[in-house]
Structure 1
Amino acid sequence: MGSEECRDVVKLSPDRLSLQEVVDSVSSTSCGAISVFIGTTRGDVLEDRKVIGLEYEAYEPMVQSELSILCADIRARWPSVTHISVHHRLGWVALGEASVVIAISSPHRHDGQQAVQFCINKLKASAPIWKKEVYDTKDVTWKENAECPWAQAKAEWGGADV
C-alpha cells in the first residue's frame, strides 16, 4: 500500500452530517475507490402514525471503543483498506437527514464496498447507540436494531422479552 499511514475517523455529533467532510477524511492518492453508505431517516407509517423524526442517544466512550475494534476487524478482513470514517448523528434527526455516514477508501472498489456493508451491519449490532421513533401523534417508540444479539434472541423466543 505504500508509505501512507492508515487513518480511522469516528465522530459522534448533534450537528447535521456532511458527506463531503466524511469523503474528504478518507481521500487518498493511493486509492482509486471511496465507498460510501448514507443511512437516512424515512417517514414510515405504522398503525396510522407517521414517523416525523428520530432521536439518537449513545454511550459515547463505549461507541468509540466498539468502533475502534470494528475498524481493526475491517483491516484484518480487508488489508487493502486505507482509511475508514464513521460519522453518526446524535439527538434529533429529521426526515430525509443522514443518521450515519460511512466512507472507506481502498485501491480498488471491491474491498471497500464489502467493508462498508460489513461496517454498517456490525455498527448496528454492537455500538451502544439507541434510536427513538417520534410520530406525528407525539407518541414515541424505542427501536432495536434487528442485528443486535438480544433482538435475535428475542425473535427466537417468539418475541418475548429476554
Structure 2
Amino acid sequence: MRVSVQSEPFDLGAEVASFTAGAAGAGAVVSFTGIVRPDGGLTGMEIEHYPGMTGKAIQAILAQAVDRWKLVDGLVIHRHGRLAPGETIMMVATAAPHRGDAFAAAEFLMDYLKSRAPFWKKESRDGGESWVAAKDSDEDALKRW
C-alpha cells in the first residue's frame, strides 16, 4: 500500500505500470485519475492540506479498503498546491483477485477522498476566487458504504 501527498506532477502511465507489476496475485487492477475540469471560466485551483494528518488519514482509509475488499495492493496519489485546468489532481489504483473487489474499493476510496480527506480547494476564475463547498451528492455517495 502506498500513499503519496505531493505537489509535483506524476506520470500516470508509469505509476499504473509500476503498480500493476508489483500486484502479485491480482486478477484485476483498476485505476482512476482526477483532473482539474476546465469549466465555467476556471483558471486554476489551489489545494491546501494539513501535512501532519493528510497522509495518515488517507493511509487509514486505504487500509480499511484493503481489508474490506481483500485487495492485494492499493495506491493513492494526491497533489496539493496550484493546479491548472487539465492537470491531474490525484489517482487511485486498486488490485484484487477479482474485478468486482477492485472496482468497489476504488469507488469507495474516491468517495472518501472527495468528502472526507483533509484537503481544502479554492477555485480561481476570471471573476475572483472562492472555496469549494461540500456537495450533498458527495455526502450521499458515502452513505452506501
TM-score bucket of the superposed structures, by smaller chain: 0.7 to 0.9
Query: Does residue 1:141 correspond to 2:134, yes or no?
Result: no
- Separation in 2 of the partners of 1:76 and 1:145? 28
Give 1:84's aligned residue.
74
Pairing partner for 1:43 from 33, 38, 41: 38
Indicate the percent of aligned positions where both proteins have the same amino acid: 30
Q: 1:66 to 1:26 in 2, by over 3 A?
A: farther
Where is the helix percentage greater, Structure 1 or Structure 2? 2
Matched residue, 1:102: 92
1:10-25 equivalent positions in 2, closer than 5 A: 10-23=3-16, 24-25=18-19
TM-score, normalised via structure 2 length: 0.85
Q: Aligned-pair distance for 1:76?
A: 2.7
Unmatched runs of 5 consecutive residues or more in structure 1: 1-7, 150-162
Give the alignment partner of residue 106 of structure 2, picking from 110, 116, 122: 116
Tell me the TM-score normalized by structure 1: 0.77
Q: How far did 1:26 drift?
A: 4.8
Question: Match of 1:93?
Answer: 83
Q: Amino acid of the residue matched to residue 123 of structure 1?
A: L
Aligned to 2:25: 30
Report deviation, 1:148: 5.7
| Counterpart position of 1:156 | none
1:54 corresponds to which residue?
Answer: 45
In the alignment, is the contact (CA less than 8 A) between 1:22 and 1:85 conserved in 2?
no
Structure 2 residue aligned with 1:152: none
Q: Which amino acid aligns with 2:131?
A: W
How many residue pairs get aligned? The number is: 136
Is the Cα–Cα contact under 8 Å of residues 28 and 99 in structure 2 kept in the other structure? yes
- List runs of 5+ in structure 2 lacking aligned partners: 141-145
- Runs of 4+ more than 6 Å apart: none
Cα distance in 1 for partners of 2:74, 2:43 equals 31
Change (3 A) 1:26 1:66: farther
* CA-CA distance at 1:78 after TM superposition: 0.5
